[in-house]
Amino acid sequence: MVGRDNAAVHFDAVTKRFGDVVALNEVSLAIRRGEFMTLLGPSGCGKTTLLKLAAGFLGPDGGSIAIHGKCVNDVPTYKREIGMMFQNYALFPHMNVAENVAYGLKTRRVRRQERRQRVAEALALVKLTGMEDRKPRQLSGGQQQRVALARALVINPTVLLLDEPFSALDKNLRASMQAELREIQRKLGLTTIFVTHDQSEALSLSDRMAVMSEGRIRQLGTPVEVYRRPSDRFVASFVGDTNKLRGRLVGTAATDAFIALGTAQVKVPGEPLSGAADSAPVDVFVRPEQLRVVSAGEPCAMTGNVVAQVYQGGHVDLQIECKASGHDRLLVRSAGDQAVTRWPLGTEVGISIDADGCAAFPAE
């Protein structure tokens, strides 16, 4: 466990209210030095509030926030040594690129000569050398983002705070900017808190991620842990695509539980089902890539009809209407594009399920 003193940022039972609304309810979170931590959740879950508390834009109503072991509850933003990137980048429109990047150095009274050198280095880091004299409005979205990053990095912040910085970029640019940001972050070993509502972004970028909902952290873990072993129904359905199937608990052994799904049996983590009676109904969350389409008549867990095909290039998403399942349509991901011709609409097919890697919770 990361203690308060060696954590880069430590939230300890932090509560924040806006009027009667509890935005954060005793949230505790320790972020390690050099870690890329993602706060993921739907809008209104409190993730942005948590980031604003770290930045000092808001003060907590309860609990404490420490940066590098020092409580910052009463430290104003301008003394916190943070780098922040905003959703709209917030580049100062009346200053050119070089002036924007130099702003944080001027407030620190860095001398002119050194300032110029550090601005040049920061712009080189984000590959914007030669753009010094441009105004923000003359830059593309991706370039604006690079300036915002250079401006945040040039002051050597203790923590980098990112508020949905990729949401305004188109898909291709987003992917390359994400990769670039992550590379720079690794190279500098910079502790980073990243806020997003995009679960695929969270999965692909994070060292660890905190899934939030209704002012609480629902699960904290690596992307693989969160994706493979969601701690509750909310996490299971919010992170990644999933199918919800009705199954029946048939037994428990050590930390595992066994669920009957159609004619198949799957193994799931037992903890969420502790206390459930044998043969109790459970909801099983199955990822689309854990389902496989087989020809009707072959051994399978359940049968159904193909009702929709969505060609995605590298894979095909099939929607299968399943009579036996409590849930009507199942999403099945089939690699390659053979599925398009092999399972045309209306075909009766069988579905088999990987025995491992599902999650189950008591039925609602």
Partner 1 sequence: MTPRSTYQRMLGWGGQFAVILILGFLILPAAVVTIAAFNDKAILSFPPQAWSWHWFARALAYQDFRDGFRNGLIVTAWSSATALLVGAMFALVIDRYQFPFKRAIEGVLMSPLVIPHFTVGLGFLILSAQIGWSRSFAVVVACHVVLVLPFVLRSVYVSLKNLDQSYELAAASLGATPLRVLLTITLPLLLPGLVSGWLFAAILSFNEFTASLFVTSQRTQTLPVAMYNYVREFADPSMAALSVMYIVGTAALIAFANSFLGLGKVLSIEQSH
* Site residues, partner 1 (CB under 8 A): 55-57, 76-84, 86-88, 90, 92-94, 103-104, 107-108, 135, 137-138, 151-152, 155, 161
> How many Å apart are CA 57 and CA 148, to the nearest integer?
18
State the nearest-atom distance from the C-beta of 57 to partner 1, in Å.
6
Short-list 327, 326, 317, CA closest to 291: 317
Which residue type is seen at 350? G
Nearer to partner 1, 40 or 152 (CB): 152
Least CB distance to partner 1 at residue 48 (A): 12
The least distance separating partner 1 from the CB of residue 252, rounded to whole angstroms, comes to: 51
Give the nearest distance from C-beta 140 to partner 1 in angstroms: 12
Closer of 111 and 323 to partner 1 (Cβ): 111
Kindly list the distances between the CA atom of residue 162 and the CA atoms of 27, 278, 282, in Å, as whole numbers in the listed order: 19, 46, 38
Q: How far is CA 157 from the centre of its chain?
A: 23
Residue 104 or 304 with smaller CB distance to partner 1: 104
Q: What would you measure as the largest C-alpha separation in the chain, in angstroms? A: 78
**For partner 1, the closer CB: 39 or 302:** 39
How far is 49 from 54, CA to CA, in rounded Å?
9
334 three-state secondary structure: strand
Identity of the residue, 67 or 330, whose beta carbon is nearer to partner 1 in the bound complex: 67
Residue 151 C-beta: closest distance to partner 1, Å: 7
> Exposed (0-12), middle (13-18) or buried (19+): which is 347, by Cβ within 10 Å?
middle
Taking the complex as a whole, the smallest distance from the CB of residue 73 to partner 1 amounts, in Å, to 17
> Of 191 and 334, which has the nearer Cβ to partner 1?
191
Nearer to partner 1, 24 or 82 (CB): 82
When the beta carbons of 55 and 353 are compared against partner 1, the nearer one is 55
**Three-state secondary structure along 217-280?**
EEEEECHHHHHHCCCCHHHHHHCCCCEEEEEEEEEEECCEEEEEECCEEEEEECHHHCCCCCCC
Give the nearest distance from C-beta 104 to partner 1 in angstroms: 4
Residue closer to partner 1 by CB (options 93, 313) is 93
Q: Nearest approach, Cβ of 84 to partner 1 (angstroms)?
A: 4
Angle formed by the axes of helices 112-125 and 141-153, nearest 10°: 130
In the complex, the smallest distance separating the C-beta of residue 168 from partner 1, rounded to whole angstroms, is: 13
Q: Do the strands 256-261 and 264-269 form a parallel or antiparallel pair, or are they unpaired?
A: antiparallel
In angstroms, what CA-CA distances link 338 with 51, 290, 334, 349? Answer: 45, 18, 8, 15
Q: Which residues contact 280 (CB under 8 A, 6 or more apart)?
A: 248, 249, 362, 363
The distance from CA 274 to its chain's CA centroid, rounded to whole angstroms, is 28
